[in-house]
Every structure is written in structure tokens, then in C-alpha cells.
């Protein structure tokens, strides 16, 4: 028998062995049998408890959302106060969404919120990346003071600084404008510190070697820093979008013209005018919620990657 045939036979045996091992692994139960020393798996009772707890948490978290979605499609003949709730409408209709748009310009408000959210994402991603790089990778006098100031701004609740922020925006002539709503959230201290933490995982020797080779600051950020922090930047982007989209207090203070309202302020107006019909409130709430669900569904892979990453990839 030739050497080639022998090698082929050995490879076939190895492939068959791997296949059998994979089958055995697949057939293994998800729980630990009595007397087993594999403590990486739970017992049968522990596995059942985990699934029961998971189902309970899913019901608590997802239940109100499903009920709200069902209510938004229920017609006048549906009783929305029955218990247990009837999640399948017997008189389904989309007129609730039509009536919401008839009474308030909900899509215009959604467009305003989208502009603010996208602008907040871009400004935080860019500015926090540059500031985080400076704090995490550069050496300069007063760095500890800068970090201390950033941390101190996080100790106070946002409501404490609302007055000073509003007076600043008013003196700049930006009251009752979307720019006035946008500027205070253009960059967040938490986002800068998150990016700085990610930048500290990059070995200083790599950056020093790039500097010796003649790389500029922009080249170091573009080719060395960015590939290792883009996961954390995606986390910053997601939280920035959600924060800007859901913000209610600051737009309510700055904006006085109903034509410039954001979606959250418009939903409060809707809630105040249609308390007798929760179907319309549910329809407006779903319009406000859908973009967040889509965003997180699309970006969840990058979100968890950013949460888990903590080292430079080889």
C-alpha cells in the first residue's frame, strides 16, 4: 500500500472518530446524572429550576410589551381589562394607529427624536473615542484631575444641573430648538470613561513603536486603536441612542412649540388627552418602541462583543 493511501486511510479513521465523538457529545444530557463528577452541568432539578425561572422572567419582561402590542390592535368591541388578558384581538383593527396620527403629528415627532438620537450617537462615538484615547493612551499633566472631574459629574443626578444647563442654552439663544436639546447630550462622561478603559487594554509598546515608525495620531487611532475598541464604541452608540430617544425631562423643559416636540413629549401629550382610550396610548407607545427594538435586534451582536472584549486581538 502506498504512503498516500495510508495517509488517506488514517485521515478517514480520524474523521470517523471525530464524528462518533461529536455524536456522543450531542447525545449527552444537558443535566448531571447522579454520581457524575461533571459539575459543569446542573442536576435535573437545577435544570428544571433554571427553565422555570427563565420562563418567569420572560413573562415579567416581555408580558407587558405583548399586552401593549395586543391592545394597540384591539377594536371597540374588545374588552382590554379582562383577566387573564386576551392577547388575540377578537375585533382587530389598525384604526388606533390612524387616529393617533390624526390627533398629533406622531411621525413628525418621531423624526425629531430620530434626528436627535442619530446626532447623539455620532457625536458621542466620535468625541468619546478621541477623548478616551487621550485619557487611556496619552500622557499629559493633569490627567488624574480630568478623570476626577469626569467622575464627579457622574455623582450628581441630572436633575441637579438642569437649571444651569437651561440657563446656558437660553443665553446661547438655543431655547425652543432641537439644537438646544442636542447639545447637553453631545458627549457623556460615562462614554468617555468606557472608551478610555478599552484604550488602556492596548499595549503602550505597540503605540510607541508606531510613533517611532512615523505614524501620526490619526493613523494610530485609525489602524491600531479603532480595531480594538469598536466593540465598546458600539455599546456607547446603543446606549446613546436609547438615552436620546427616551429622554423626556430635558426636551420638555427646552421645547415650548408643539411643532418641535420629540416623541416622548408627544406621547405625554397623547396620554393626557386620551386617558379614556388606552388603545390609542398603546398604539403611540408601540410607534415609539419599534425603532428601539429594531436597533437592538440589529446591533445586539456588536453590543455583547463590546461588553465581553477586554484584550487586544491577535
pLDDT tens per residue across span 231-253: 888 888 888 888 888 888 888 88
Residue 161 DSSP one-character state: G
Reduced to 3 states (helix: H, G, I; strand: E, B; else coil), residue 257 is coil
Q: What is the DSSP string of 179-244?
A: HHHHGGGSS-HHHHHHHHHHHTTS-HHHHHHHHHTT--HHHHIIIIIHHHHHHHHHHHHHHHHHHH
Among 160, 240, 159, 156, residue whose Cα is nearest residue 194: 240
C-alpha angle with apex 128: 126 to 134, nearest 5 degrees?
110
pLDDT digits (tens, 9 = 90+) for 158-204: 777 888 888 988 898 888 888 999 998 888 888 888 888 888 888 88
Task: At 76, list the grid cell.
Answer: 371597540
pLDDT tens digits, one per residue of 293-306: 777 777 666 666 65
Amino acid at each position: 500500500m502506498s504512503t498516500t493511501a495510508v495517509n488517506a486511510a488514517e485521515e478517514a479513521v480520524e474523521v470517523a472518530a471525530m464524528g462518533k465523538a461529536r455524536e456522543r457529545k450531542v447525545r449527552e444530557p444537558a443535566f448531571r446524572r447522579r454520581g457524575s463528577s461533571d459539575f459543569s452541568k446542573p442536576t435535573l432539578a437545577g435544570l428544571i429550576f433554571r427553565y422555570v425561572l427563565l420562563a418567569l422572567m420572560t413573562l415579567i419582561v416581555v408580558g407587558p410589551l405583548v399586552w401593549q402590542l395586543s391592545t394597540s390592535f384591539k377594536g371597540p368591541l374588545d374588552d382590554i381589562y379582562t383577566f387573564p388578558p386576551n392577547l388575540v384581538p377578537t375585533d382587530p383593527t389598525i384604526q388606533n394607529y390612524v387616529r393617533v396620527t390624526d390627533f398629533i403629528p406622531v411621525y413628525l415627532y418621531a423624526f425629531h427624536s430620530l434626528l436627535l438620537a442619530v446626532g447623539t450617537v455620532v457625536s458621542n462615538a466620535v468625541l468619546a473615542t478621541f477623548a478616551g484615547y487621550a485619557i487611556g493612551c496619552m500622557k499629559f499633566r493633569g490627567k488624574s484631575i480630568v478623570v476626577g472631574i469626569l467622575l464627579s459629574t457622574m455623582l450628581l443626578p441630572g436633575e441637579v444641573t438642569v437649571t444651569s444647563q437651561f440657563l446656558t442654552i437660553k443665553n446661547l439663544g438655543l431655547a425652543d430648538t432641537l439644537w438646544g436639546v442636542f447639545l447637553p447630550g453631545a458627549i457623556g462622561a460615562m462614554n468617555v470613561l468606557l472608551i478610555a478603559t478599552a484604550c488602556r487594554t492596548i499595549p503602550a509598546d505597540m503605540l510607541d513603536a508606531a510613533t517611532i515608525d512615523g505614524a501620526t495620531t490619526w493613523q494610530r487611532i485609525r489602524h491600531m486603536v479603532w480595531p480594538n475598541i469598536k466593540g465598546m464604541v458600539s455599546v456607547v452608540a446603543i446606549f446613546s441612542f436609547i438615552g436620546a430617544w427616551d429622554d423626556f425631562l430635558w426636551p420638555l423643559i427646552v421645547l415650548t412649540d408643539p411643532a418641535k416636540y420629540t416623541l416622548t413629549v408627544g406621547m405625554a401629550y397623547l396620554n393626557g388627552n386620551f386617558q379614556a382610550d388606552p388603545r390609542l396610548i398603546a398604539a403611540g407607545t408601540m410607534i415609539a418602541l419599534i425603532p428601539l427594538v429594531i436597533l437592538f435586534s440589529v446591533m445586539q451582536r456588536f453590543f455583547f462583543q463590546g461588553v465581553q472584549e477586554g484584550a487586544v486581538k491577535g
